[in-house]
């Protein structure tokens, strides 16, 4: 087991606790996060009793909404980053392992993609795909799947570069050469020798990617191109809070608590990532 | 020099590719931009399609669009009737550049002294303080920061305008919100590189000559430690772009990002396409410029690639 430094351990503890609560949220005694109570709109936080963190403009309980929002935000962070690794690892390691012309072409493509404003292109893609929502739904591809794919497209490049560098490093190592000399196929070398040895740097990469993805989810949902209203995510909650902010009614809690949840989780994720990087190098 | 010409050529290819990709993506979307709200009489629809050349074969439309780009004409906006995309963008560019430039200024103004200060007091309380604040700032999404600042400075204390265009005071909060996460990264990068420089024999020699540490830091350490910060400006510009999409929305600044987001939501595809093209060009030129700067600062970089 990897021993992390103290701050990373606190971050990890916080994240685990939050994930467990978020995962079990539907079976825990929370208020219904979508239940509308029009007679209890914009109630201030009561701290010790029922609307702990207050209610929003439709009388929905903010405390429950934050924990249900965690489900979407954390799941996006995890699945989005895994998808980015899923695209980046084969791309980079194949380029590194094969070398030569293949490597050059694959990396040129990556260079070209790096020089494009990917966020803009992905926003473009999301807005165009939303025209085909019915068809996509019919073949079982929901909006969230498209969203994960978009995130994967945004974040695979750094992973591909790391995977390539690792593949290049390992390719010249003696055990890979030994495997080659006894006639192992390339795919076997890739799966049996390269991937397991890349694991530490890829773990670091995962640690760095997850907070970025969580932030990106908040960004996209805030712009109205990510998670959509019947679902709840921290980005959406913060956007609601920002919209409710005006000089007349100070509904500060609608922005403050989702923002606090988001910032605390990002901080914890960053601390874990920093710890992993220190521990595993890179 | 040859290398930069080659990069410029590559950028032209990327622009070409982005244009073609977005063009065909847009034009393969089912339904035209005019059939969303209500049923138009067939003659009107026909006239509209003819006006925007949407009734021609796709390849002919593409040829038309490409020749338009070469003439600096990006076609008419589909939503804002009677305006050209190029005009909308031309109005938006100064706003976005002011925002981005201001944010970059904030990032360097806060990040450089903080990073240097942290490095000069390694593992002491200033260092820990800078590192913790930087970690916190990197975890702070800038729309959250923007919301908090607007609530305090505009609504509670009425010190700064909450949104819109105007004088210097209008720019303070947007630039600060956009720049702060980058200031944090600049501080972290500069701290690391300054620590490396501080361990070189040159610094030891300067110390031995009796140079006071302030001059040492400013004159010698900062100059050689700035390289990674300059290298970071390339990726940072891409990040500034992402952030500006949100910040322009929050502060109601009619810049490129706001127009792009609106266009993507309104299906104003010519405007979105034009903005995408412009973004690609700006990003490419900026990264070219940083590379050029790096090569000037450190001649070794030129021979590297």
Please check the confidence at residue B242 and state whether its pLDDT lies above 80.
no
The answer on B158 and B46 residing in a single domain is no
> What's the rounded Cα separation, in Å, for the pair A25 and A29?
8
Taking an 8 Å cut-off on Cβ atoms, the answer to whether B260 and A123 are in contact is yes
The answer on B256 and B177 residing in a single domain is yes
For residue A269, list chain B residues with Cβ-Cβ distance below 8 A: 139
Query: How close A132 gets to chain B, by Cα (Å)?
Result: 8
Query: How close B103 gets to chain A, by Cα (Å)?
Result: 18
> What's the rounded Cα separation, in Å, for the pair B248 and B271?
17
Q: Is A282 strand, coil or helix?
A: coil
The answer on B127 and B51 residing in a single domain is no
Specify if B76 maps to a domain: no
Q: What is the mean pLDDT of chain A?
A: 80
Q: Is B23 strand, coil or helix?
A: helix
| Contact pairs from chain A to chain B, CB under 8 Å | 129
Q: Which of B12, B42, B70 is the last residue of a domain?
A: B70
Q: Is A42 strand, coil or helix?
A: coil
Which string of b and e fits A253-279 if b means at least 16 CB within 10 Å?
Answer: bbbbbbbbbbbebbbbbbbbbbbbbee
The answer on B209 and B114 residing in a single domain is yes
Residue to substitute from A124, A254, A277, interface B, most B β-carbons within 10 A:
A124
- Report CA-CA distances (Å) from A196 to A166, A188, A189, A282, B72: 11, 12, 10, 17, 52
Q: Is B234 strand, coil or helix?
A: helix
The answer on B132 and B12 residing in a single domain is no
Taking an 8 Å cut-off on Cβ atoms, the answer to whether A270 and B261 are in contact is no
Report the candidate in A213, A205, A207, A212 with the shortest Cα–Cα distance to residue A80: A213
> What's the rounded Cα separation, in Å, for the pair A27 and A133?
31
Q: Number of folded domains in chain B?
A: 2
- Report CA-CA distances (Å) from A20 to A32, A271, B207, B272, B274: 18, 19, 54, 42, 46
Q: Which of B31, B47, B70 is the last residue of a domain?
A: B70
For residue A126, list chain B residues with Cβ-Cβ distance below 8 A: 264
- Fold of the domain built from segment(s) A6-280: MetI-like fold (1.10.3720)
Of B38-47, B90-99, B123-132, give the lowest mean pLDDT range.
B38-47
- Report CA-CA distances (Å) from B220 to A99, B121, B145: 41, 17, 35
The answer on B122 and B52 residing in a single domain is no
The answer on B152 and B37 residing in a single domain is no
Specify if B141 maps to a domain: yes
The answer on B191 and B57 residing in a single domain is no
Task: Express each pLDDT in A189-220 by its tens digit.
Answer: 888 888 888 888 888 888 888 888 888 888 88
> What's the rounded Cα separation, in Å, for the pair B109 and B92?
26
Q: Could you tell me which residues come within 8 angstroms of residue B223 by beta carbon, excluding any fewer than 6 positions away? A: none
The answer on B56 and B180 residing in a single domain is no
The answer on B249 and B144 residing in a single domain is yes
Residue of A nearest to B234 (CA): A115
The answer on B127 and B257 residing in a single domain is yes
- Domain with B95, as residue range(s), is 85-304
Task: Express each pLDDT in B146-176 by its tens digit.
Answer: 888 887 777 777 777 777 777 777 887 888 8
Q: Which of B20, B37, B70 is the last residue of a domain?
A: B70
The answer on B277 and B196 residing in a single domain is yes
Sign of CA dihedral B264, B267, B269, B271: negative
Specify if B80 maps to a domain: no
Task: Express each pLDDT in B45-72 by its tens digit.
Answer: 777 777 777 767 777 777 877 777 777 7
Q: What is the mean pLDDT of chain B?
A: 80
| pLDDT score recorded for residue B30 | 57
C-alpha B283: how far from chain center: 7
**Candidates B29, B242, B287; nearest CB to A128:** B29
**Residue B305's pLDDT band (cuts 50, 70, 90):** very low
Please check the confidence at residue B303 and state whether its pLDDT lies above 60.
no
Specify if B129 maps to a domain: yes
End-to-end Cα separation, chain B, in angstroms: 12
Sign of CA dihedral A57, A63, A64, A66: positive
Specify if B79 maps to a domain: no
Specify if B77 maps to a domain: no
């Amino acid at each position: 087991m990897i021993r992390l430094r103290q701050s990373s351990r606190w971050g990890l503890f916080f994240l685990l606790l939050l994930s467990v609560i978020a995962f079990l949220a539907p079976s825990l005694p929370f208020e219904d996060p979508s239940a509308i109570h029009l007679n209890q709109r914009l109630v201030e936080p009561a701290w010790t009793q029922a609307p702990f963190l207050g209610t929003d403009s439709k009388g929905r309980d903010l405390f429950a909404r934050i924990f249900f929002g965690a489900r979407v935000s954390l799941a996006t962070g995890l699945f989005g980053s895994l998808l980015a690794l899923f695209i980046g690892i084969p791309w980079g390691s194949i380029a590194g392992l094969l070398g030569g012309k293949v490597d050059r072409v694959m990396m040129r493509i990556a260079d070209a993609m790096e020089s494009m404003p990917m966020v803009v292109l992905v926003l473009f893609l999301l807005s165009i795909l939303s025209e085909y929502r019915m068809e996509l739904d019919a073949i079982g591809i929901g909006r969230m799947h498209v969203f994960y794919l978009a995130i994967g497209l945004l974040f695979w490049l750094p992973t591909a570069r790391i995977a390539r560098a690792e593949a290049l490093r390992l390719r010249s190592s003696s055990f890979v050469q030994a495997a080659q000399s006894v006639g192992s196929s390339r795919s076997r070398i890739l799966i049996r020798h390269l991937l397991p040895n890349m694991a530490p740097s890829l773990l670091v990469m995962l640690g760095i990617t997850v907070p970025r993805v969580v932030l990106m989810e908040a960004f996209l949902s805030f712009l109205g191109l990510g998670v959509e209203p019947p679902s709840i995510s921290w980005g959406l909650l913060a956007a609601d809070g920002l919209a409710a902010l005006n000089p007349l009614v100070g509904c500060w809690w609608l922005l403050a608590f989702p923002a606090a949840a988001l910032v605390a989780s990002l901080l914890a994720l960053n601390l874990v990532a920093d710890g992993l990087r220190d521990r595993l190098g890179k | 020099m040859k290398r930069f010409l080659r990069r410029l050529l590559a950028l032209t290819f990327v622009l070409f590719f982005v244009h073609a990709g977005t063009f065909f993506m847009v034009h393969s979307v089912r339904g035209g931009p005019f059939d969303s709200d209500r049923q138009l009489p067939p003659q009107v629809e026909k006239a509209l399609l003819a006006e925007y050349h949407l009734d021609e074969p796709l390849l002919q439309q593409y040829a038309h669009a490409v020749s338009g780009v070469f003439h600096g004409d990006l076609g008419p906006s589909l939503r804002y009737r009677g305006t050209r995309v190029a005009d909308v963008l031309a109005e938006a560019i100064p706003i976005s550049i002011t925002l981005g430039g201001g944010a970059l200024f904030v990032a360097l103004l806060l990040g450089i002294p903080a990073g240097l200060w942290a490095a000069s007091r390694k593992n002491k309380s200033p260092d820990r303080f800078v590192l913790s604040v930087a970690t916190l700032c990197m975890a702070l999404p800038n729309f959250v920061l923007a919301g908090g600042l607007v609530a305090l400075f505009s609504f509670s204390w009425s010190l700064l305008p909450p949104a819109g265009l105007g004088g210097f005071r209008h720019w303070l909060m947007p630039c600060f919100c956009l720049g702060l996460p980058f200031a944090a990264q600049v501080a972290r990068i500069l701290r690391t590189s300054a620590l490396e420089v501080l361990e070189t024999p040159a610094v030891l020699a300067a110390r031995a000559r009796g140079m006071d540490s302030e001059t040492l830091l400013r004159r010698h350490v900062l100059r050689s430690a700035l390289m990674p910060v300059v290298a970071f400006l390339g990726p940072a510009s891409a990040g500034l772009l992402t952030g500006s999409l949100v910040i322009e929305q929050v502060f109601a600044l009619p810049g490129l990002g706001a127009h792009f987001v609106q266009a993507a939501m309104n299906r104003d595809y010519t405007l979105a396409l034009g903005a995408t093209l412009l973004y690609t060009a700006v990003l490419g030129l900026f990264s070219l410029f940083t590379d050029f700067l790096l090569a000037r600062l450190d001649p070794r970089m030129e021979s590297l690639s």
